[in-house]
Amino acid sequence: MRKILIDNQSRPLSQPIVTDYCSTFNSRFLGLMFRKSLAQYQGLLLVQPREDRIDSSIHMFFMNFDLAVIWINKQLRVVDIQTARRWRPFYQPARPACYVLETHCDHFSAFDIGHQVIFKDL
């Protein structure tokens, strides 16, 4: 699977987040379900073919831990941030997004709406 480094260009992280690039239906649907834990600087980048609120929504069924979820638009700007609690049915961004960064809860305060992010291939 393709690996991507994600950093906050507006407020650089002490260490970029290493994510799996999930652009297929199956990889997006499975996401982090059934995993026991998530390291602090790891995550998933769920990639949608178009910007949309519904298409970029997530579920937290079969999750063993909470997540910081950062929704990002085509211009690589943060459009919403939420803490997603395990076993909750539905989270949707306030504005359309085509990228969903699911990462460790420690990163919740590392991003703000409007921040510019950067993706780099590993």
The DSSP secondary-structure symbol of 16 reads: P
pLDDT at 54: 95
pLDDT at 102: 97
User: How confident is the model over 78-91, as pLDDT tens digits?
Assistant: 999 999 999 998 99
User: How confident is the model over 45-68, as pLDDT tens digits?
Assistant: 999 999 999 999 999 999 999 999
pLDDT at 66: 95
B/e letters for 49-76, b = 16+ CB within 10 Å, e = fewer, are eebeeebbebebeebeebbbbbbbbeee
Domains and CATH numbers, the chain: 3-121 (2.60.120.1140)
pLDDT at 30: 79
Mean pLDDT along residues 102-116: 96
Tokens of 41: 């600087």
How many C-beta neighbours within 10 Å does residue 116 have?
14
